[in-house]
């Protein structure tokens, strides 16, 4: 391998791989051949865009290093060990490497396929907990509401506050990350809500699991904005979580089952499936790939995926119907990884911010991961906190009192960061701002 002159020389390519061989894990399954690895030309242009490489300066914690590991494992040159799994699971799945890559490597697909072999991350008890949650909680809106209701009870009764005082450091930090459950869960008044004024189009709306439980007000704001802009909005009752967490954490089979249920639940006669959570939108745009080996769903999945639009992307494309009231605010914008890198949507949210008259001050590295990454902040707290501190510094440097981040994971993480580091910044969703402007 010849390191690119544009990047720092990786410190440990060979030795880390050797160490991984020594620590063979009996639970490992053989890694299949993943064709996407062949598109990597080993140029190294992705390295300095990779958050974990920027922190560790280790080749094995870079996109190129991880691709080497997956390829070597698939060729039988490397055992799939706990150490190899550790490198693959320190990855945030932020896909910043895809944006940087001149060769079009679809790193996300490589990592997802490798994780399907590895299963959920961590030691046995953690693996069991993650697997149980992903298989039995995430596909069931009823169980999710029950679990969130219990958390809400614990938050309201002061039990969580008490636990945060008496629990030791790491556990206390994890409790502090837990967002407030909404006072009521999202429950639209009907399955189809008419457009306000003349109808311009008909869309379906993904209400989402986290958005329905933690951000009810933002779901309501999103639907109001869509309706005011001439959209008839279908909100199918049979929809469930999109499966993004499953596919990112080695539970692809359950993710496929969840994708099939959503494809069955959503109506065909809509122009778009609108999603206000970047991670969910990115996952649903991949349904065609996820179900490519399922002859019964392959074509429908492709058609469904082609209709998925982020809410900001959709509204910017549709055009706001009326000039909104200007909002007198100075804001900075956090590009959610799965919007900027996963869906290549960057200009549209900024255009909408400009349309409502806010003053936008760009932060350094706005498309760098905040360390949230699904459940990463819980499973990899040290790396997550390092990235969060860097992000909060970048936000602070803008002087903006509001940061806009159209993704629930980023919003939770940035709110935790503001509290953790004592930064007086308000975290808002783009749809909230548009709604306030009467858009
Ligand atoms: S997805 Fe993000 S963390 Fe993972 S290798 Fe790519 S840039 Fe690095
Ligand atoms: S993933 Fe892309 S940018 Fe990174 S080393 Fe391979 S070809 Fe180069």
Give the strand pairing for 231-234 and 192-193. antiparallel
pLDDT category of residue 25 using cuts at 50, 70 and 90 = very low
Q: Mean per-residue pLDDT for 28-53? A: 92
Element (H, E) at 359: strand 359-360
Torsion angles phi and psi, residue 369, rounded to 5:
-60, 140
Residue 355's pLDDT is what?
95
Q: pLDDT tens-digit profile of 125-165? A: 999 999 999 999 999 999 999 999 999 999 989 888 888 77
Residue 358's pLDDT is what?
95
Ligand 1 pocket, residues with Cβ under 6 angstroms: 50-52, 63, 66, 91-97, 107
Give the ligand with the smallest distance to the CA of 38: 2
Architecture of domain 324-436: 3-Layer(aba) Sandwich (3.40)
Q: Answer yes or no: is pLDDT of 329 > 50.
A: yes
Q: pLDDT tens-digit profile of 336-378? A: 999 999 999 999 999 999 999 999 999 999 999 999 999 999 9
pLDDT category of residue 28 using cuts at 50, 70 and 90 = low
Q: Mean per-residue pLDDT for 3-7? A: 34
Handedness of CA 155, 242, 413, 251 (dihedral sign): positive
Q: What is the DSSP string of 205-243?
A: EE--HHHHHH-HHHHHHHHHHHHHTTEEEE--TT-----
pLDDT category of residue 168 using cuts at 50, 70 and 90 = confident
Question: Among 84-98, 176-190, 414-428, which is the least confidently predicted range?
Answer: 176-190
Residue 322's pLDDT is what?
82
The answer to whether 80 touches 118, Cβ cutoff 8 Å, is: yes
Higher pLDDT, 177 or 213: 213
- Considering the chain, tell me which residue range(s) the CATH 3.40.50.1860 domain(s) occupy: 324-436
**Helix, strand or coil, per DSSP, at residue 308:** strand
Mean pLDDT of the chain: 91
State the closest ligand 1 atom to the C-alpha of 52, by its place in the atom list counted from 1. Answer: 3
Give the distance (Å) from ligand 1 centre to CA of residue 133.
24
Residue 415's pLDDT is what?
95
- Considering the chain, tell me which residue range(s) the CATH 1.10.1060 domain(s) occupy: 14-118
Give the distance (Å) from ligand 2 centre to CA of residue 18.
22
Residue 18's pLDDT is what?
33
Angle at CA 313, nearest 5°, toward 307 and 316? 120
Q: pLDDT tens-digit profile of 367-412? A: 999 999 999 999 999 999 999 999 999 999 999 999 999 999 999 9
Among 315, 395, 407, 396, CA closest to 353: 315
Give the distance (Å) from ligand 1 centre to CA of residue 282.
15
Q: Mean per-residue pLDDT for 54-73? A: 96
Q: pLDDT tens-digit profile of 73-83? A: 999 999 888 88
Q: How far is residue 84's CA from residue 87's CA, in Å, rounded to a whole number?
A: 5
Residue 188's pLDDT is what?
94
Q: Mean per-residue pLDDT for 202-214? A: 96
Q: How far is residue 225's CA from residue 406's CA, in Å, rounded to a whole number?
A: 15
Give the ligand with the smallest distance to the CA of 114: 1
Residue with the smallest CA separation from ligand 2 atom 6 is 40
Residue with the smallest CA separation from ligand 1 atom 7 is 50
Residue with the smallest CA separation from ligand 1 atom 8 is 50
Q: Which residues contact 15 (CB under 8 A, 6 or more apart)?
A: none
Ligand 2 pocket, residues with Cβ under 6 angstroms: 40-46, 63-64, 97, 100-101, 103, 105
Among 339, 214, 332, CA closest to 275: 339
Residue with the smallest CA separation from ligand 2 atom 8 is 43
Residue 179's pLDDT is what?
82
Residue labelled with tokens 């922190």: 55
Cross-strand partners of 310: 275
- Considering the chain, tell me which residue range(s) the CATH 1.20.1050 domain(s) occupy: 192-316
Give the distance (Å) from ligand 2 centre to CA of residue 62.
10
State the closest ligand 2 atom to the C-alpha of 41, by its place in the atom list counted from 1. Answer: 7
Give the distance (Å) from ligand 2 centre to CA of residue 343.
19
Give 14-118's CATH code, choosing from 1.10.287, 1.10.10, 1.10.1060, 3.90.660.
1.10.1060
pLDDT category of residue 16 using cuts at 50, 70 and 90 = very low
Give the distance (Å) from ligand 1 centre to CA of residue 286.
18
Q: Mean per-residue pLDDT for 111-123? A: 92
Give the distance (Å) from ligand 2 centre to CA of residue 213.
38
Residue with the smallest CA separation from ligand 1 atom 5 is 63
Give the ligand with the smallest distance to the CA of 100: 2
Q: Answer yes or no: is pLDDT of 37 > 90.
A: yes
Residue with the smallest CA separation from ligand 2 atom 2 is 101
Give the ligand with the smallest distance to the CA of 2: 2
Q: What is the DSSP string of 181-208?
A: PPSS----SSSEEPPSSS--EEEEEE--
Residue with the smallest CA separation from ligand 2 atom 7 is 40
Q: How far is residue 176's CA from residue 151's CA, in Å, rounded to a whole number?
A: 13
Architecture of domain 192-316: Up-down Bundle (1.20)
Residue 171's pLDDT is what?
72
Q: How far is residue 426's CA from residue 59's CA, in Å, rounded to a whole number?
A: 37
Pocket test for ligand 1, best of 94, 100, 121, 249 (most atoms within 8 A of CB): 94
Q: Answer yes or no: is pLDDT of 12 > 60.
A: no
Give the distance (Å) from ligand 1 centre to CA of residue 107.
8
Question: Among 49-63, 270-284, 320-334, which is the least confidently predicted range?
Answer: 320-334
């Amino acid at each position: 391998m010849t390191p690119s002159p544009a990047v720092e020389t990786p410190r440990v390519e060979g030795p880390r791989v050797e160490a991984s061989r020594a620590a063979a894990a009996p639970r490992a399954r053989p890694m299949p051949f993943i064709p996407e690895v062949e598109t990597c030309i080993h140029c190294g242009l992705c390295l300095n865009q990779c958050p974990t490489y920027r922190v560790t300066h280790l080749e094995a914690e870079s996109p190129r290093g991880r691709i080497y590991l997956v390829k070597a494992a698939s060729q039988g040159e490397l055992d799939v060990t706990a150490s190899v799994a550790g490198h693959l699971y320190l990855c945030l799945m932020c896909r910043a490497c895809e944006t940087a890559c001149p060769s079009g490597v679809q790193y996300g697909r490589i990592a997802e396929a490798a994780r399907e072999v590895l299963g959920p991350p961590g030691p046995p008890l953690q693996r069991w907990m993650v697997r149980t949650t992903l298989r039995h909680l995430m596909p069931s809106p009823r169980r999710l509401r029950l679990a969130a209701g219990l958390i809400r009870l614990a938050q309201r009764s002061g039990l969580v506050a008490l636990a945060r005082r008496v629990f030791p450091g790491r556990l206390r930090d994890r409790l502090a990350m837990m967002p407030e459950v909404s006072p009521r869960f999202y429950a639209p008044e009907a399955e189809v809500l008419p457009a306000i004024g003349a109808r311009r189009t008909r869309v379906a709306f993904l209400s989402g699991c986290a958005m329905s439980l933690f951000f009810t007000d933002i779901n309501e704001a999103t639907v109001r904005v869509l309706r005011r802009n001439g959209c008839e909005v279908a909100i199918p009752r049979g929809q469930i979580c999109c499966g993004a967490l499953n596919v990112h954490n080695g539970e692809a089979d359950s993710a496929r089952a969840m994708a099939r249920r959503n494809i069955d639940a959503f109506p065909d006669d809509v122009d778009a499936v609108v999603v206000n959570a970047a991670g969910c939108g990115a996952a649903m745009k991949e349904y065609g790939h996820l179900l490519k080996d399922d002859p019964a769903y392959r074509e429908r999945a492709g058609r469904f995926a082609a209709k998925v639009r982020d809410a900001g992307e959709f509204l910017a494309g549709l055009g706001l119907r009326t000039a909104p009231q200007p909002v007198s605010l100075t804001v900075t914008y956090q590009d959610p990884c799965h919007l900027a890198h996963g869906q290549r949507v960057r200009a549209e949210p900024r255009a909408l911010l400009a349309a409502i008259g806010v003053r936008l001050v760009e932060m350094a590295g706005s498309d760098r991961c905040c360390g949230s990454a699904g459940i990463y902040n819980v499973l990899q707290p040290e790396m997550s906190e390092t990235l969060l501190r860097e992000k909060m510094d970048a936000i602070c440097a803008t002087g903006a009192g509001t940061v806009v981040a159209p993704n629930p994971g980023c919003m939770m993480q940035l709110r935790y960061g503001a509290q953790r580091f004592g930064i007086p910044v308000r975290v808002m969703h783009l749809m909230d701002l548009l709604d306030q402007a009467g858009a």
